Amino acid sequence: MPCQKTRPSQFCPPNPVPDISQISNLPELPDIRSVSREELATRLSDWKTPTYRLEQLMAWLYPSRVTTWDEMTNLPRTLREELARNYRLVSPSLVQKQGSADSTQKFLWRLEDGNLIESVLIPANPDLYGERADRHTLCVSTQVGCAYGCRFCASGLDGWRRNLLPHEIVGQVLAVERWHAGQRLTETPAVESVPQTARLINNLVIMGMGEPLANYEHLMVALRALNAPWGGGIGARKITISTSGVAPKIRELADDPLQFRLAISLHGARDEVRNQIMPINRKFPLSVLTEACQYYVEKKGKMITLEYILIADVNDAVGEVVPLAELAQLLHAKVNLIPYNRVEGLSWNRPEEEHCRAFSDALQSQGVPTTLRLEKGHDIEAACGQLRLKSERNGTTSA
Ligand code: SAH
Ligand code: SF4
């Protein structure tokens, strides 16, 4: 085993070139992508490094998406060693990828501690969040499991394990882009001239596993990096955060200067309905949630989206249209209707397509901007948390 500069020994000859992969793998060190740019700038200046090195470092970390210090070829070796002594540089490893007929792709990742998370890549869908047809949307996770326990959702079935760190949120985007760049090279060698740094994801939805607003601090560090021109370059207006209704955090988000979009997982426009399926409604009932949303809309001057899963015989009665329309009008919100995606082991059902259309038409006739999302990825268990749950329960996690 080569001598490590971090553990000098009088019995080892001095080694001027330490093995960076060894010294970079100390678990107690923070990952460099979990550290804010401001903190890194201070660190580099403490090390008497010229300021332009920060830009070079950022370019390696984000647009180039490198996975090792050695790839940062325009940084002096001494700086790379210093970075490796102070930070880690880790990426999630791909356990499984499923692609569906409509080319929605689902990624199951293993984190350093063995936990599994999911991301879903959704190709252009002009209806989804009103974006142009050439967009790629990535849905990312923010926690391992979820503590909120919505009755219909796979993510919360085995409880909450931990919050993701900022680099684990950012890492999903970078890993999918790396995967895509590699795919293009193997599948179509003719595109070799396309730079590896070309960005794929231009629309981000924080709708994977976990409740994003329950991991607010880490989420914000990650989103600032993904949004910044030196980072992921994804416009704030192309980033949608979905919440089951953590009212105080909606207010905090409203006070943040960045213009992220907000989606509320409503799924019931009356407390009686919401209480049945979303335990969070007992803590923040509709009146409290509505006030927080009004505050957000006033502060941001932007439309929010109400997500409404249609679950047979739970919230899909025509009688629910009026309270839903009233709430949407009060909040000047649009509504995304999503027919429920069945989860193995749960008894909830998706209504007939015809019934979903009738519900959608009735809502639209009340003057509410409505989208019926006949969901992509239904065939690959794309609803949040399903692939991970199945893999863990089937013991396919040790691949
Ligand atoms: N915790 C956040 C974000 C993750 S869930 C939230 O609840 O908003 C993302 C979306 O997927 C939510 O709207 C959630 O209600 C929805 N969802 C969960 N399970 C689903 C299922 N089986 N079918 C369809 N949508 C589902
Ligand atoms: Fe958690 Fe969202 Fe699933 Fe509810 S719907 S259990 S908040 S991930």
pLDDT digits (tens, 9 = 90+) for 100-129: 656 789 999 999 999 999 999 988 655 555
Separation CA 56–CA 394 (nearest Å) = 44
Q: Evaluate: CB of 363 within 6 angstroms of ligand 1.
A: no
Separation CA 143–CA 116 (nearest Å) = 10
Centroid of ligand 2 to alpha carbon of 280 (angstroms)? 10
Instruction: With beta carbons less than 8 A apart as the criterion, state whether 146 and 210 touch.
Output: yes
Centroid of ligand 2 to alpha carbon of 67 (angstroms)? 31
Q: Evaluate: CB of 177 within 6 angstroms of ligand 2.
A: no
Instruction: With beta carbons less than 8 A apart as the criterion, state whether 241 and 261 touch.
Output: yes
| Largest pairwise CA distance in the chain | 82
Instruction: With beta carbons less than 8 A apart as the criterion, state whether 226 and 176 touch.
Output: no
Give, using CA atoms, the residue closest to atom 14 of ligand 1: 265
Instruction: With beta carbons less than 8 A apart as the criterion, state whether 259 and 239 touch.
Output: no
> Is 291 known to be catalytic?
no
pLDDT digits (tens, 9 = 90+) for 154-192: 988 889 999 999 999 999 999 999 998 877 555 544 444
pLDDT digits (tens, 9 = 90+) for 23-68: 444 468 999 999 999 999 999 999 999 999 999 999 999 999 999 9
Q: Evaluate: CB of 308 within 6 angstroms of ligand 1.
A: no
Q: Evaluate: CB of 242 within 6 angstroms of ligand 1.
A: yes
Give me the pLDDT at residue 374, please.
77
Q: Which atom of ligand 1 is nearest to the CA of 386?
A: 22
Give, using CA atoms, the residue closest to atom 15 of ligand 1: 265
CATH superfamily of 93-394: Aldolase class I (3.20.20.70)
Q: Which atom of ligand 1 is nearest to the CA of 139?
A: 9
Instruction: With beta carbons less than 8 A apart as the criterion, state whether 266 and 326 touch.
Output: no
Q: Evaluate: CB of 245 within 6 angstroms of ligand 2.
A: no
Q: What are the structural domain ranges in the chain? A: 20-86, 93-394
Give me the pLDDT at residue 10, please.
26
Closest CA to 67 of 159, 155, 182: 182
Give me the pLDDT at residue 381, please.
47
Q: Which atom of ligand 1 is nearest to the CA of 208?
A: 4
Q: Evaluate: CB of 148 within 6 angstroms of ligand 2.
A: yes
Please state the pTM of the whole predicted model. 0.88
Which comes out higher in pLDDT, residue 242 or 155? 242
Q: Evaluate: CB of 338 within 6 angstroms of ligand 1.
A: yes
Closest CA to 346 of 321, 381, 379: 381
Which comes out higher in pLDDT, residue 286 or 2? 286
Beta pairing, strands 239-243 & 261-265: parallel
What is the CATH number that goes with domain 20-86?
1.10.150.530
pLDDT digits (tens, 9 = 90+) for 322-371: 999 999 999 999 999 999 999 989 999 999 999 999 999 999 999 999 99
> Is 217 known to be catalytic?
no
Closest CA to 328 of 295, 294, 375: 294
Instruction: With beta carbons less than 8 A apart as the criterion, state whether 58 and 37 touch.
Output: yes
Give me the pLDDT at residue 89, please.
96
Separation CA 157–CA 151 (nearest Å) = 8
Centroid of ligand 1 to alpha carbon of 88 (angstroms)? 32
Give me the pLDDT at residue 9, please.
27
